[in-house]
Amino acid sequence: MSAYLIKGDNMKRITALFAFILLTAVMCSCSDNAENTSVPTTTAVTSSEPETLATTTVTTTEKATAPQLEVGFSGMKAIYADSVNEGEYDIDVDSSSSMFKITACKLKVAGGKMTAEMTMSGNGYEYLFMGTEDDAEKAAESDYINAETLGETVSFTVPVEALDKEIDCAAFSKRKEQWYGRKLVFRADSLPKEALGNGAITTLESLALEDGVYEIDVKLDGGSGKATIQSPAKLTVKDGEAYAEIIWSSNKYDYMVVDGEKILPLSTDEFSVFEIPVSGFDYRMPLSADTTAMSTPHEIEYTLILDSGSIKK
């Protein structure tokens, strides 16, 4: 009888020990799984009251934003309202976010001020604030710019401090109920030449150049970035008109379009060589050039800057 009781007690002890080991293993396994499982970031707040073991879990989420895009261009010089002629013009706008897409924009210049009516690609934003998202969160609601409904899209009419300058803009998402910071650049090079007034373009008259042949530094932007032009370029001044010789890095360009005029090359032997009229200096002059280097000809848009400060005989 005594031996039987001892044997039974040992059995109970062994069973209890086995259960403890099994429970410990399960707890360790659960702990490992919790660390390796992707879950939202949580902060555990334990009550300081001794009579309760309850915990409160507070879930925190980070604001997700689309990758920021570059806006504007290197060497931008701000163009203010006093250098833009009064009127209404279609203008291109760079946005730092693909989620803040502007499909059309009308620039209005009047009374020494500029405003822009921006048409968006959708209706996901309720209002804008011209400033950073931090400024927007602190601002009064009366400072918000409300959306104007245009069918399935919306538009916003905003003040424009200057062209060719990064401008902070915050957009409030209706779905996320959060502010998102953007940067905008209203592009002066998308305006017609007659829109730009004193100070925006350096004119041949203001340079008072005598008839003759000069050199000038030129910079080409646009396209894929593979094509280049020779700099400095030859600048010819005659009878109050200026012409620049543009020599491309290949002979595959069969015409150029400048100020709506189609210009044929002087030569395509080794390089495509053109002589184009110069409408002004120190601004991004829009033009296009047709290349035959692809399977079918393509007309590609570029901008050209002629640096008046580099002109020399």
Residues of the chain with CATH 2.60.40.1850: 81-193, 202-312
Give percent above pLDDT 90 in the chain.
Answer: 68
pLDDT digits (tens, 9 = 90+) for 258-289: 989 999 999 999 999 999 999 899 999 999 99
The pLDDT, as a whole number, for residue 225 is 80
Confidence of residue 223 (pLDDT cuts 50, 70, 90): confident
- Give residue 10's pLDDT: 52
Tell me the CATH number for domain 81-193. 2.60.40.1850
DSSP E strands in the chain: the ranges are 42-46, 55-59, 87-90, 93-95, 102-110, 113-120, 125-129, 145-146, 148-150, 153-159, 167-173, 178-186, 212-222, 233-238, 241-247, 253-258, 261-263, 273-277, 285-291, 298-312
> Is 80 exceeded by the pLDDT of residue 122?
yes
Asked if pLDDT for residue 193 goes beyond 50, the answer is: yes
Among 247, 246, 252, smallest CA distance to 294 is for 252
Residue 28 CA: distances (Å) to CA of 18, 32, 125, 245, 287: 16, 6, 48, 78, 69
| 42-79 pLDDT per residue, tens | 333 333 333 333 333 334 444 556 678 999 888 888 99
pLDDT value of residue 75: 81
Q: What CATH code is assigned to 202-312?
A: 2.60.40.1850
pLDDT tens sequence across 85-101: 999 999 999 999 999 99
Q: Where is pLDDT greater, at 87 or 4?
A: 87
